[in-house]
Structure 1
Amino acid sequence: MTALEGKYAELIAAANASGASNLAVRVQDNVLYIDGVVPNGEAKDQLWGLYDKLDPDFRSGDLVLNLDVSPAAPSTRLKVTTQSSNLNIRKGPGTDQPIIGKAAHESEVTLLSKYNAEWALVRSANGEEGYCSLQYLTAI
């Protein structure tokens, strides 16, 4: 076991216990990667919450969670209601997380779960999955 696997052992165990499929854990260039498909948005949110507990505000930069939500998971459609610009979709729940995609103004996204009162886990029309601010989403 590497030092990173030891540091994040609780997270790796939780990922295994979540029912994730195709789970792969690897270390590359001093970064731990956890890849796989989780059964629902709540499972992904729980893993991000545990990650935040182990590394507050994700400061270390030594872990990459590449977990997608199963296409079979329950979901709800929402409309992007930004003023006029595209909505940023981020790797994790927070403005400090990298932008991994965008949802167009007035487009629809699939709500996979609500991480907290401010952030939602969504999937865009072209399949980009990540977190965005709930303030720019409206029920259809």
Structure 2
Amino acid sequence: MSALQDKYAGVIAAANSAGLSNLQVSEQDGILYVSGHATNSAAKDAVWNALGVVDSSYSASDINVDVQVAGLATGSPLTVVTEDSNLNIRQDPSTEGAIVGKAGKGESVTLVEQTSDDWWKVKTADGEEGYAYARYLKA
């Protein structure tokens, strides 16, 4: 087992116990890639929560987690699950992207596209479209 696989053993274990299909764990250029398909948001959250134990700010540059929730179709309703603050809706799928809207905790938004594991394109009730951090969205 490599040092990275050892460091993120909890993430790999969570992915296994969450029952991810197509689970792949690989390493390239000092980055550990963990990918797979979850059957529901809870399974995806289990993997992210395990990552949070190791890296509470989710800012580690030596791991890439890509867990898609299977069966989420365009137009699916999503609920914002932030702790206290509003969820920023951004022009680009990055924290550098300009904020084009906000959605409050518990608010419903519509899935436009699962752009990546981290960023999903959504539409707010006001019709604002942009990218939101998928960690704070639940199907």
TM-score (norm 2): 0.59
Structure 1 match to 2:69: 69
Paired residues for 1:54-65 under 5 Å: 54-65=54-65
Structure 1 match to 2:137: none
1:45 counterpart = 2:45: yes
TM-score (norm 1): 0.59
Residues 96-134 of structure 1: per-residue CA shift (max 9 Å, x gap): xx87xxxx98xxxxxxxxxxx58x9x88324425457xx
Residues 78-98 of structure 1: per-residue CA shift (max 9 Å, x gap): 59xxxxxx645758xxx5xx8
Return the letter of the residue paired with 2:67. L
Query: Any conservation in 2 of the 1:23–1:34 contact (CA below 8 Å)?
Result: yes
Q: Indicate the SS of the match to 2:11.
A: helix
The 1:89/1:137 distance shift into structure 2, 3 A limit, reads farther
Whole-Å separation in 1 of the counterparts to 2:110 and 2:25? 24
Structure 1: tracts of 5 or more residues without a match: 80-85, 106-116
Structure 1 match to 2:136: none
In angstroms, what is the RMSD of aligned CA positions?
3.8
Residue from 102, 111, 116 that aligns with 1:124: 111
Whole-Å separation in 2 of the counterparts to 1:78 and 1:43? 16
Query: Any conservation in 1 of the 2:18–2:46 contact (CA below 8 Å)?
Result: no
Moved beyond 3 Å, runs of 4+: 86-91, 129-132
Q: Indicate the SS of the match to 1:53.
A: helix
